[in-house]
Structure 1
Amino acid sequence: MAHELVVFDNSGVLVDSESLGNRLLAGMLTDEVAPTTFAEAVEHYLGKSFADAARRCGVAPEACLVIEDSARGVAAARAAGMTVYGLASVTPRTRLGDARQVLGSMRELRDPIPALFPDPLLQETRR
């Protein structure tokens, strides 16, 4: 299947900011709304935006590919109806088993990209 949108989980896939981001979120919620622990921030807010990203881009969830590095994120993307590739840069491969494919690094995306995005412009840039 060709995909129209790739959604990268920025907290961990592109930069390892997940822990810091959720600690800041828990602190902000505690200060402004209600006492919130790090674990609660992860449980209630992590990986909730995949469907929203698709909607904002005008793309059906089934036409999206999510690159995700956490088991919870893989589950959230699958629940949204998206194809998910797990990235085992920090999380062990065994915990990402629900992903369609598990990659060891971003470099492993290079070869499957043409099949995932059969776009003439993309093919031209790879020559």
Structure 2
Amino acid sequence: MSRPGRPELVIFDCDGVLVDSEVIACRVLSESLAEAGIPVAADDIAENYVGLSAATIFADIERRTGRRVPEDFAPSTRPRLEAAFAAELAAMPGVATALAAIATRVCVASSSAPVRLRHSLTLTGLIDRFSPHIFSAEQVARGKPAPDLFLLASATMGVRPEACWVIEDSRAGIEAAGAAGMMAIGFSGGSHCRADHGERLRQAGATRVLASMDELTSLLAATSR
């Protein structure tokens, strides 16, 4: 495989890429839905909804189950998720080293709400590396797999889409990066990723798939030679 050129901007997804949050978030969402009378297993959530916005997730759950998600569901469950993150959340192994190796600009573009993004990045000590360049799907009309969020990030940062790398752990994110005309790099190092996760990201259009942040550090070093 040919070596990609050096990026002018590296756009990171947050959950499952910068922070190892997906197993925690899927468990909390499953528990909260069950209490609302909507049984959806955590594995089902991980399989079908990672990388999507809350609005998209809730709409599909309502379609599948025929049950209405309460209007106050997201704000009412936020304290529970924040408490779980405070107790369990960690930065992805090797991410600090990888970020230190990036000589170019970086930002975050995630389907999560702004308050969750800032909470997660603060807990894991990553907030200062990215702030104020933190973009949420709540800022655009269409979330992933539409390209809107990544295009917002590149436009705001003043970088052409074709000069951007996107690091993503979800199929929706990889598809969004491709639709935006950016280099889509899959990441399969999160604790939620199964053995076939990398192949699924390739099928979604990932140029290459990294199994760890150490591989990202090596790839970035190779582009600087």
Q: TM-score, normalised by structure 2?
A: 0.41
Q: Are 2:126 and 1:105 equivalent residues in the alignment? A: no
Aligned equivalent of 2:60: 39
How many angstroms apart in 1 are the aligned matches of 2:143 and 2:218?
Answer: 33
In the other structure, the counterpart of 1:32 is none
CA distance in 1, matches of 2:166, 2:9: 8
Give the match's secondary structure for 2:218: coil
For 2:218 and 2:51, how far apart are their aligned partners in 1? 33
1:13: Cα distance to partner?
A: 0.6
Matches within 5 A, 1:5-84: 5-15=9-19, 16=21, 19=26, 25-26=54-55, 37=58, 39=60, 45-46=143-144, 48-84=148-184
- When residues 55 and 24 of structure 1 are mapped into structure 2, their CA distance, relative to the original with a 3 A threshold, is closer
TM superposition shift of 1:94: 1.4
SS at structure 2 position matched to 1:78: helix
Whole-Å Cα distance in 1 between the matches of residues 51 and 155 of structure 2? 24
2:198 to 80, 88, 93: 93
Aligned residues: 108
| Structure 1 unmatched runs, 5+ | 30-35
1 CA distance for matches of 2:52 and 2:206?
26
Contact 2:51 2:170 in 1 (8 A): no
Q: Secondary structure at the match of 1:99?
A: coil
Judging changes above 3 Å, is the alpha-carbon distance between structure 1 residues 11 and 38 closer, same or farther for their aligned structure 2 residues?
farther
- State whether residues 53 and 143 of structure 2, in contact with CA within 8 Å, keep that contact through their aligned partners in structure 1: no
CA RMSD of aligned residues (A): 3.1
Looking at structure 2, the residues matched to 105 and 99 of structure 1 have their Cα atoms a distance apart, in angstroms, of 15
Q: Which has the higher contact order (CA 8 A, sep 6+)?
A: 2
Q: Distance in 2 between matches of 1:52 and 1:14?
A: 20
- The residue aligned with 1:114 is 221
**What displacement does 1:67 show?**
0.4
Verify the 8 A CA contact 1:9 1:68 in the aligned structure 2.
yes
> Do the aligned partners of 1:6 and 1:66 also contact (CA within 8 Å) in 2?
yes
For the pair shown, the structure with the greater C-alpha radius of gyration is: 2
Give SS of 1:81's match.
coil
SS in 2 for 1:111: helix
Which digits, 9 at most, give the CA deviation of each residue in 1:13-46, with x for residues without a partner? 11225756989944xx9xxxxxx71637x8x524
Mark the CA change 1:94 to 1:66 in structure 2 (over 3 Å): closer, same or farther. Answer: same
Structure 2 segments unaligned to the other structure (5+ residues): 30-49, 62-110, 112-141
